Structure 1
Amino acid sequence: MNTISNTSAALSVVNIGADLFADAIEAQGFAVTHVAWRPPAGDQHALMTLLADPRVNEANKIAVERMLSAHPVIVDVRPAHEVISALQKHKLLHAGPPIEWERMCGPMRGAVVGACIYEEWAKDEPEAVALADSGTLDFEPCHHYNAVGPMAGITSPSMPVFVVEDKTQGNQTFSTLNEGLGKVLRYGAFAPEVLERLSWMQEVLGPALGRAIR
């Protein structure tokens, strides 16, 4: 955590939830009142029934075993639509659980706009927003297709993705390439330089990496 600075008066901080935030502020010499709180569990009976289900422990055991035994290897770089067959025109993948365009946060909406312009489904921001408002776009979580994406996680058909194979289980997963720092689509930017970089990654970087890896 960055050091707190530029304060003209004594701070009085109330921290709710995770201890680490309170500890970090206290370590910098500021008074902190920590409130031990967590989101309500809701139906306690249902929660306890779930926790007591032996299938949960067994599933967790299998999940941990597979993570520890995994041997991930990058085997290729391909356009997303070539390895995720469902990812075709007007379909976008995103980070997190299922969500509608109307409920997306600003950075995710910005990334959607950028992806629409990048894919040439729209020529500018107003046209991309109108396309999204019309319901034409189909949104699904990356993890529904064994894929991951950073931050907003927007993955469109033409974007190059790493193809990662688990040599232990034989399954494949996919991840978009890192755009670098500064203005980037993953944070919702869609300035000309962002789109130019994405096009360069599609036309130059992705194919070069794919050839080198293969």
Structure 2
Amino acid sequence: MLLIFDCDGVLVDSEVLSCRIDAEILTEMGVPYTAEDIARQFVGVSLKDQIARIEAERGCTIPADFSKRLNHALFERFETELQPVPGVREAILSLPYPRCVASSSTPERIALSLRVTGLSDLFEHVFSATEVACGKPAPDLFLHAAAQMGANPRDCVVIEDSSAGVQAAIAAGMRVIGFIGGGHCGPEHREKLRAAGAPVVIERMSELPEIIQQLISPHP
């Protein structure tokens, strides 16, 4: 059994901050977005895929320094404001299974997020969408993580907060648990994850150990 955790919105409560900053910088560059637009369209999507979609949909060219400006602003805010998802450390420590992180974010952002929230020591293995050809909702990242960890996809459980992540896990042939405890999750988020294919959705990390046990227990 391998547990694969998304980072943003699952381990760290970063999505509200990142969506706000993302929208501010795009708007300053002449491509107006609101934080709500970003949350609705791009949560769980890699930055590379986000830029490609914006350029295609808006018929524009995103300035080459967008990634640099975004990361600078994000990292500055993360250092002082980023918090772990409540209860996530305790939930992870109660689960006696191999685990890793597989995130759409860059390696630098993942490392910073885990460091400032005090979660770095929980994960020896961290995988980024920058390591694969296609980000979520394609299965590439999760399949890459499983291969690197020596796990069969059918023996993996993914914990995800985004529709793209849920779809990626299912496409990879893995079991998936939806999580809606992040600050960016509105009242409609549970149904969004269910519509994406998550058979079970939890609101608190304290629920995770019991759900994992139910998933791996043989059915009568």
Q: TM-score range by the shorter chain?
A: under 0.3
TM-score by length of 2: 0.26
Q: Which structure is higher in helix share?
A: 2
Flag the structure with larger Rg.
Answer: 1
Q: Which structure is higher in strand share?
A: 1
TM-score by length of 1: 0.27
